Amino acid sequence: MARMARLEYEGAIYHVTVRGNNRRRLFTDDHDRERFLEYLSDCVKEYDVRLYVFCLMTNHVHLVLETPGANLSRFMHRLQTGYTIYFNRRNRETGHLTEGRFRARVVEGDEYLLKLCRYVHLNPVFVAGMEKKPLRERMRYLRGYKWSSLGRYTGRNEWGFVDERPLMAMVPGRGRRQRAAFRRFVESGLARSDDELKEAMQVSRLCIGGDEFRDKVSDLYMSAVSRRRRPEDVSLRRRARYVGVDQVLAVVARQMGVDVRELRTRRRDSWVRAVAAYALTRYGGLTQRETGEVLGVGSGKAVSKQLARLKQSSTDTILSALLRAVDRELGKSAKA
């Protein structure tokens, strides 16, 4: 069965969910959660994304965001790759941390967006063991839950990478009264179910909204698909394709004639890790800081120095030949 195409356009608002592979935990402790939010903050700034809501659960994450640059796939690739590298290194694991694809549905603004954000913020109290507890106890737990953006809206914490202005503009009042009104709106979902939102979330795999909005998104989706020959991720703008970290390292090791483990070992007067850094940033889509974590270099600044030194030595005949071989192999994979 062909995968659902990914619909991307400027100004689209999405409800994104990321789940652990085979329902595994995404976070082992609060340190993991803090690092995930660091990556999220960096990616929001780098890709100029407007993050409205987030909620971290044990084995999944909810995000509600807007992409003025029609770059959801690149944003999510960087976020998931960076955190997976950190998580695997910290826990001495390998392989996929999250499911193969994140799920993203376009959201209609105003009423549906506001109700969706309430739904996301209520996730911590709708889990097994919590949803049947007394209302007052669930309310107390929700107000104390640290790992969501609700505190940004109620004034409990900063989370400066969250843009609360569009949602707060839909709530009456100003200052403390407005924040109190938003909190009451969210907590009202503890006592009654929003059947209209639940129905809207079940009707379409593409979007969350009313009938007219669903028809509009469906037409946009079919138009985008018809312009592409392959039933894969579809964007209304061209996007880069990246190669997996393990594949990049395997190609570099083969072309350099070394074991993959040597790519993480410091050796005097060796180009091995510099070539690996070049390949990871160009074909793996990693930042220099993420590349440093993969190779055990220490920092993004150290990677930057290696890349600069590699560029200065591009006249070396043997080195140039190795780089061309790496480019040919990884270039084919990036186009596949």
At 186-211, the pLDDT tens digits run 999 887 777 777 777 777 878 888 88
* Tokens of residue 133, six digits: 């507890």
Helical segments of 16-71, H only: 30-46
pLDDT of residue 232: 43
Q: Which residues contact 2 (CB under 8 A, 6 or more apart)?
A: 231
The CA distance from 212 to 216, in Å, is: 6
Among candidates 235, 240, 202, which has minimal Cα distance to 12?
235
* Tokens of residue 263, six digits: 């790519």
**Model pTM score:** 0.69
The CA distance from 156 to 144, in Å, is: 9
CATH fold, domain 245-335, is Chromosomal Replication Initiator Protein Dnaa; Chain: A; (1.10.1750)
CA angle 278/280/282 to nearest 5° reads 65
Give the domain ranges of the chain. Answer: 12-226, 245-335
Provide CATH code, domain 12-226.
Answer: 3.30.70.1290
Higher pLDDT, 268 or 21: 21
In the block, tokens 């703008």 appear at: 237
Mean pLDDT of 213-228: 76
